[in-house]
Amino acid sequence: MTSPRQMKTTAPTVEFAGLTISLGKKIIQAELNFSLAPGEFVALLGPNGAGKSTLLKVILGLLPATGQALVLGAPPRKGNRRIGYMAQFHSLETSTTLRARDIVGFGLDGHRWGFGWPSRPREARIDRVLEEVDALSLAKSALGELSGGERQRLLLAQALVSDPELLLLDEPTASLDIAHAGEVIDLIDRVRRDRNISVLLAAHDVNPLLTRIDRVLYLANGRSEVGLPDEVITSQVLSRLYGSRVEVVTALGRRFVVGAET
């Protein structure tokens, strides 16, 4: 169900104009122009090192950039509870004995020292979001006991538990096989539609996303291109971005970018 907060604006959730990101003397992205509409699902694509995670950190207010950047109508800032963030899988210690519901609870109070005080409203909210991602049965399980797909559901629940308007996902399918990657993407898309929230999802492989995303933002070699998948993921466009010949090959219903990594 769409909340009044989500219905009251049609302004872009994220808006960049001439955004340039540098780390030291190296320019990661130059003159990036992009906007993310309310409720839109955009895939953030590109090779390793192209700046996908870096761009998410700019939106989160963790890294500076020049040019104009607006997130939910204001400059990026740290600790914005209107943003849900799902970090890369390897950033979470999988041998931990923390319960699944404790992991989700970090989305409400993980910025504090120690655990949040239990309360009925807090526990009810955690249960609600666990049920939303089909993980309520895992609530008392230790993280180290869960499969990769189950852990990704918990991290998604953690990102959603504060009821954000913008969801940022950093490589949520990187550790999963094709079947489980598709399940996670379907779940993200269902949540996005049910909540009417904007999603920006960084990925290395576009194939699990093709039937769900609205547009792609492709980063490579300090350049960027925005548009529909069929407009951007072409040999001509990617060759221009990479500055060298790239071939986009379609086989068995999947797209492969050949030559980009070299």
Is pLDDT above 50 for 105?
A: yes
- Domain with 183 in it: 4-231
Q: Give the distance, in angstroms, between the CA of residue 24 and the centroid of all CA atoms in the same chain.
A: 25
What is the pLDDT, as a whole number, of residue 5? 41
* 250 φ/ψ angles, rounded to the nearest 5 degrees: -110, 125
* Residue 191, in any domain of the structure: yes
What is the pairing mode between strands 166-170 and 247-251?
A: unpaired
Nearest by Cα to 153 from 175, 134, 178: 134
* Residue 114, in any domain of the structure: yes
* Residue 87, in any domain of the structure: yes
* Residue 187, in any domain of the structure: yes
* Residue 154, in any domain of the structure: yes
The reported pTM is 0.90
Is pLDDT above 50 for 113?
A: no
What is the pLDDT, as a whole number, of residue 167? 98
Tokens of 103: 């992991």
Number of domains in the chain: 1
Looking up residue 73, the CATH number of its domain turns out to be 3.40.50.300
Over residues 21-52, the pLDDT tens digits come to: 999 889 999 999 999 999 999 999 999 999 99
What is the pLDDT, as a whole number, of residue 9? 57
* Residue 245, in any domain of the structure: no
Is pLDDT above 60 for 8?
A: no
- Tokens 């490579």 locate to 220
* Residue 212, in any domain of the structure: yes
* Residue 261, in any domain of the structure: no
DSSP string, the chain: ---HHHHS--S-SEEEEEEEEEETTEEEEEEEEEEE-TT-EEEEE--TTSSHHHHHHHHTTSS--EEEEEETTB---TT-TTEEEE--GGGS-TT---BHHHHHHHHHHTTSSSPPPP-HHHHHHHHHHHHHTT-GGGTTSBGGGS-HHHHHHHHHHHHHTT--SEEEEESTTTTS-HHHHHHHHHHHHHHHHHHT-EEEEEES--GGGTTT-SEEEEEETTEEEEE-HHHHSSHHHHHHHHTS--EEEEETTEEEEESS--
Over residues 160-172, the pLDDT tens digits come to: 999 999 999 999 9
Residue 49 gets the label, from left (phi > 0), alpha (psi -120 to 50) or beta, of left
Distances (CA, A) of 16 to 177, 222, 228: 33, 15, 18
Is pLDDT above 70 for 115?
A: no
In DSSP terms, 36 is beta-bridged to 14
What is the pLDDT, as a whole number, of residue 6? 43
What is the pLDDT, as a whole number, of residue 193? 97
Mean pLDDT (the chain, rounded): 89
